A and B are shown apart, each in its own frame.
Chain A
C-alpha cells in the first residue's frame, strides 16, 4: 500500500538553522493498517506526513501508494489518493464558505472540476446522511459558514471531507490536539468509526500515549528523524505507557527524552 523508502529532508540547508527532519525513514503500510505515530517535538512526525502529502519534495528517497510513484507529484495531484486532517482546525476547511460548499469541494477531490453545478440536490441529500454520522447537528446547518463552527465541529467536518471520496490513505496530524478533552474524545470516536467503516489505511500522529496505544493496530515512535520503535498486533495491544517510555529511553539512550516525549 504505502511504501516510503529511505527518505531524507533537511530544512534550511547551509544555514545556522539547518535541521535534518527526516533522516532516512522507510515505512511500509499494509492495506487497512491504522498506524499511530508518537514522538517528541522535532522528532519528524509532521514532517513525515507532510512529505507523504507533498507539501514539499523530499531531498532523496521515494514515496509510492499502490505502486503509483508520488515522489515528484505535486500536492494537489496526490490529493487524489490522500485525505488529510490537520492539527489547526482553521487549516482543513474554507471558513468563508458554507458547510455544503466545503463538502462539495471535498467530494470532487481527485476529479476534474468542470462547469457543472457545484452542488446538486442529490449531493445535498448525501451530505445530510454523512453529517448525521458525526452526531453534531451539522446536517441542519448545511448553508452555515464554516467560520461559525467551533474547533471541534470543524475538525469533525474536515474528517468527513477527508473521507467523503474514499482515500487510499488517511493522514491525521494531531487532529485532536487543539481541542478540549471532551471534544477531542468525540472527534477520535468519529475517527475510529469512519476508519473502521471504510477500512481506511491511516497514519495518525498523536501526542497522547494512551490514545496511541488504544487506537490502531500498529504504533511507531520517531526520534531525531528516525523511526525508533515499530510495534504491531498483539505486542502493541499489551503495551502500557510506562513500558513505552522505558522502550523509548532504551532506544534513544536518554532519560530526559521521556519527559520531552510526554510533554510534546
Chain B
C-alpha cells in the first residue's frame, strides 16, 4: 500500500463522490421516498452526459446544456413512469425496458460509443485537471455548490403539498388514494424528478472526466444504492431531518469512492470493484432483513381481512 498515492487520490475520490452523490439522491427519491426500484438510471447516467456534450458542441451555453441534460432525464423518467402506470408493467421491469432502450438512444445522441469533449475548447464548469487546485475552479467546490442547491430545493419541494403527496405515495399508497392523491401521477412525477437529477449528475460527470461513454452508467443503480445504504448505516441514527438524510446520501457516496481508492491502494484491481460493490449492497440489504427475521419477536397488528 502506498500512502502517498492514496492521499493524492483523495481529492479525486471526493469530487467523484460529490458528483455521484447527486445521482444517489435521485436513487434515494425512488428507492426510499417512493418505494420503487428504478433501474432506468443505468441508462440515464449516460443520457445526461451525452446530451450535455452534444448540446455544448452544438453551441449551446453551459447552463442551457445542463438544462437540456436535466430535461432528457425527466423524459427518461416519464417513459418509465408511463410504462409502469399506464401500461401496467411492474416498475422494475419498466425501468429495465427504458434502460435498454436508452442504450440505443444514447448511441444516437452521441453518434458513437464514446464522445470526448476538450476542456480547452469549451468553458466547462468542472474538470478533473483542477482537482488539486485551490481555486473556485476546483470541482469539489463547484459540485459542492450543486449539492447544496439540490438539497435545498428538494427539502423545500418535499415540504410542499405536492411533495408531501409524493412521500405519502411511497409510505402508504392505499392511504394516499383514500386522501385523494392520484398515486399514478405522483409515481410518474417522482420517477421524472429522480432521473432528472441522475442526468444532471451525468452531465457533471461527463465534464469532470472529459467524455461521455455509452457504458458509463453500467451498474450505476448499485453504486447509488450503496451510497444510500452506507449513508443510512453511518449517519441514520444522527441525521433525522430530511435535508440531513439527503446529505447523508451524498456523504455515503463520498465514503464509497474513498473506500474504492483504499481498495485500489491495497493492490486490488479496479476490475473487481463492481463485485465488491454488489457484495457491500447485498450485505447491507441482508442485515435488516435477518435482524427482523431471526432476532426479534414479531408483533402482528390487525386481524385477518374480511371479505
Residue numbers of A with Cβ under 8 A of B are: 21, 41-47, 53, 74-77, 79-80, 84, 86-97, 101, 104-106, 108-111, 113-119, 151, 161, 174, 177-178, 207, 264
Task: Check B61 for interface membership: any CB of A closer than 8 A.
Answer: no
Q: Which residue in A42, A53, A77, A91 is a CB contact (below 8 Å) of B175?
A: A91
Q: Which residue in B164, B171, B175, B305 is a CB contact (below 8 Å) of A118?
A: B164
Task: Check B183 for interface membership: any CB of A closer than 8 A.
Answer: yes
> Within 8 Å CB of B161, what residues of A?
104, 108, 113-118
> Within 8 Å CB of A94, what residues of B?
167-168, 171-172, 175-176
Task: Check B238 for interface membership: any CB of A closer than 8 A.
Answer: no
Chain A's closest residue to B166 (CB) is A113
Q: List 14 A-B contacts (CB under 8 A).
A: A79-B178, A80-B180, A86-B178, A96-B167, A105-B165, A105-B175, A106-B179, A113-B164, A113-B165, A114-B161, A115-B161, A117-B160, A174-B306, A177-B303
> Within 8 Å CB of B302, what residues of A?
87-90, 151, 178
> Within 8 Å CB of A118, what residues of B?
159-161, 163-164
Q: Which residue in B178, B181, B183 is a CB contact (below 8 Å) of A92?
A: B178
Task: Check B162 for interface membership: any CB of A closer than 8 A.
Answer: yes
Q: Report the minimum CB–CB distance from B214 to chain A (whole Å).
A: 37
> Within 8 Å CB of B157, what residues of A?
115
Task: Check B118 for interface membership: any CB of A closer than 8 A.
Answer: no
Residue numbers of B with Cβ under 8 A of A are: 157, 159-165, 167-168, 171-172, 174-183, 301-303, 305-307
> Within 8 Å CB of B301, what residues of A?
88-90, 151, 178
Chain A's closest residue to B180 (CB) is A79
> Within 8 Å CB of A106, what residues of B?
179
Chain B's closest residue to A43 (CB) is B307
Could you tell me if A96 and B160 are in contact, using CB atoms closer than 8 angstroms?
no
> Within 8 Å CB of B177, what residues of A?
75-76, 79
Could you tell me if A88 and B305 are in contact, using CB atoms closer than 8 angstroms?
yes
> Which of A94, A117, A177, A264 is most buried by chain B, counting CB atoms within 10 A of its CB?
A94
> Which of B168, B179, B183 is most buried by chain A, counting CB atoms within 10 A of its CB?
B179
Expressed in whole angstroms, the Cα–Cα distance for A32 and B218 within the complex equals: 60
Expressed in whole angstroms, the Cα–Cα distance for A111 and B164 within the complex equals: 14
Q: Report the minimum CB–CB distance from A78 to chain B (whole Å).
A: 8
Q: Which residue in A77, A95, A174 is a CB contact (below 8 Å) of B172?
A: A95
Could you tell me if A264 and B306 are in contact, using CB atoms closer than 8 angstroms?
yes
> Within 8 Å CB of B306, what residues of A?
41, 45-46, 87, 174, 177, 207, 264
Q: Report the minimum CB–CB distance from A185 to chain B (whole Å).
A: 17
Expressed in whole angstroms, the Cα–Cα distance for A93 and B301 within the complex equals: 14
Q: Report the minimum CB–CB distance from B198 to chain A (whole Å).
A: 23
Q: Report the minimum CB–CB distance from A153 to chain B (whole Å).
A: 12
A79-B177, A104-B161, A113-B164 given; 17 more Cβ-contact pairs under 8 Å: A44-B307, A45-B307, A74-B182, A76-B180, A76-B182, A76-B183, A77-B182, A86-B178, A92-B178, A94-B171, A95-B171, A105-B176, A109-B180, A113-B161, A114-B160, A114-B161, A118-B163
Contacts A46-B306, A88-B302; is A104 near B164 (CB within 8 Å)?
A: yes
Q: Report the minimum CB–CB distance from B305 to chain A (whole Å).
A: 7
Could you tell me if B168 and A97 are in contact, using CB atoms closer than 8 angstroms?
yes
> Within 8 Å CB of A44, what residues of B?
307
Could you tell me if A113 and B172 are in contact, using CB atoms closer than 8 angstroms?
no
